[in-house]
């Protein structure tokens, strides 16, 4: 199958000097305009060529589906992944309240398909493409993991011929459930509006839709998280184990929310009790066979 070429045109909202790719060459489906907020795109962070292993990860920053925490939950994780030899793609997806479900999920599905469609161009293994999601971005990743769609071999757009199921999921203090009693209210309101259909709340509660086909998961959450109830991660991890899905669950007794890599930054203290999760995740990825050389 012929692969589509990359689009070299500048993208509104793309950080200066970074390589950004639009998810759609023209207006995105359902776009309300042509401002940066209406143009979902991927920002690419390639690994050093000597370390490149053919694995890719799409990063979904958090922000309650209302903002994107691009630096702490996008740029910094992308650089960490690149240090492992992984090509990282930070996803700028559209946000509420201007955009509601299924727009955000559609952007994430398109991102997975886009990366697989360009696997040959970037020397990637199309069967080693995962998602890393923080907070509401974790909900986006878990939604694809529990409700994957196969590609349409007859689609006019060759990108839509590829499947969107992640090969693995990395979820950091994720929103998982949209239903009471432990849904994150701001994420639910921005994604679904003030009075969502109960059937939609059930459909978008990932812990209720795990199956044996759900991809392996690495989950990190602090039990004392004051923003997103720890039960989100615990319920999802329990459901994964019950379905026989590989899961590594790091449950920390103490910690806040939105700690990113938990590293110390200028003017911001680190959280040493949490800071080990990236190295643990690297070991987990190695065990899955995601950090070895790409198969010929």
pLDDT computed for residue 272 by the predictor: 84
Q: Identify the CATH number of the domain in which residue 260 sits.
A: 3.40.50.1820
User: pTM score, two decimals?
Assistant: 0.93
Tokens coding 267: 């003017």
Q: What is the mean pLDDT of residues 160-168?
A: 98
Domain-embedded: residue 225: yes
pLDDT computed for residue 59 by the predictor: 98
Residue position matching structure tokens 């929310």: 257
Q: How many domains does the chain have?
A: 1
Q: What is the mean pLDDT of residues 269-288?
A: 92
Domain-embedded: residue 294: no
Domain-embedded: residue 19: no
pLDDT computed for residue 12 by the predictor: 59
Q: Which helix (H) or strand (E) holds 251?
A: strand 247-252
User: Which of 8-22, 207-221, 257-271 has the highest mean predicted lDDT (pLDDT)?
Assistant: 207-221
Domain-embedded: residue 68: yes
Domain-embedded: residue 21: no
Domain-embedded: residue 13: no
Instruction: Say which residues have a Cβ less than 8 Å from residue 166's Cβ, sequence separation at least 6.
Output: 58, 112, 129, 130, 131, 141, 144, 145, 148, 215
Structural domain harbouring 242: 42-287
Q: Is the pLDDT of residue 3 over 50?
A: no
Domain-embedded: residue 174: yes
Strands 56-60 and 169-172: unpaired
141: left (phi over 0), alpha (psi -120 to 50) or beta: alpha
CB 158 within 8 A of CB 4: yes
Instruction: Say which residues have a Cβ less than 8 Å from residue 200's Cβ, sequence separation at least 6.
Output: 101, 178, 192
Tens digits of residue pLDDT in 80-117: 999 999 999 999 999 999 999 999 999 999 999 999 99
Instruction: Say which residues have a Cβ less than 8 Å from residue 95's Cβ, sequence separation at least 6.
Output: 37, 63, 65, 66, 67, 68, 104, 190
Q: Is the pLDDT of residue 7 over 50?
A: no
Domain-embedded: residue 76: yes
Instruction: Say which residues have a Cβ less than 8 Å from residue 23's Cβ, sequence separation at least 6.
Output: 40, 41, 42, 107, 110, 111, 114
- List, edge to edge, every strand of the sheet that includes 41-45: 19-22, 41-45, 87-92, 56-60, 129-134, 169-172, 217-222, 247-252
Tens digits of residue pLDDT in 167-218: 999 999 999 999 999 999 999 999 999 999 999 999 999 999 999 999 999 9
Residue 265: pLDDT band with limits 50, 70, 90: confident
Residue 11: pLDDT band with limits 50, 70, 90: low
């Amino acid at each position: 199958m012929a692969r589509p070429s990359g689009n070299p045109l500048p993208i509104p909202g793309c950080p200066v000097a970074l390589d950004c790719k639009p998810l759609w060459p023209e207006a995105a489906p359902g776009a309300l305009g042509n401002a940066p907020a209406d143009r979902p795109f991927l920002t690419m962070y390639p690994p050093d060529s000597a370390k490149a292993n053919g694995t890719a990860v799409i990063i979904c920053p958090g922000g309650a589906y209302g903002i994107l925490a691009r630096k702490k939950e996008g740029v910094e994780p992308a650089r960490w992944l690149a240090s492992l030899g992984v090509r990282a793609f930070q996803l700028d997806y559209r946000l509420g309240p201007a955009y509601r479900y299924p727009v955000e999920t559609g952007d994430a599905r398109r991102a997975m398909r886009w990366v697989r469609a360009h696997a040959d161009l970037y020397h990637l293994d199309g069967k080693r493409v995962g998602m890393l999601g923080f907070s509401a971005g974790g909900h986006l990743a878990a939604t694809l993991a529990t409700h994957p769609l196969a590609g349409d071999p007859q689609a006019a757009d060759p990108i839509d011929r590829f499947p969107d199921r992640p090969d693995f999921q990395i979820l950091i203090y994720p929103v998982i459930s949209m239903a009471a009693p432990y849904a994150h209210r701001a994420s639910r309101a921005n994604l679904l509006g003030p009075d969502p259909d109960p059937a939609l709340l059930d459909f978008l509660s990932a812990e209720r839709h795990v199956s044996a086909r759900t991809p392996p998961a690495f989950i990190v959450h602090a039990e004392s998280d004051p923003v997103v109830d720890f039960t989100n991660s615990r319920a999802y991890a329990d459901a994964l184990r019950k379905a026989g899905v590989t899961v590594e669950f790091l449950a920390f007794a103490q910690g806040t929310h939105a700690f990113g890599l938990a590293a110390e930054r200028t003017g911001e203290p680190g959280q040493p009790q949490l800071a080990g999760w990236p190295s643990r995740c690297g070991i987990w990825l190695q065990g899955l066979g995601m950090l070895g050389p790409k198969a010929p």
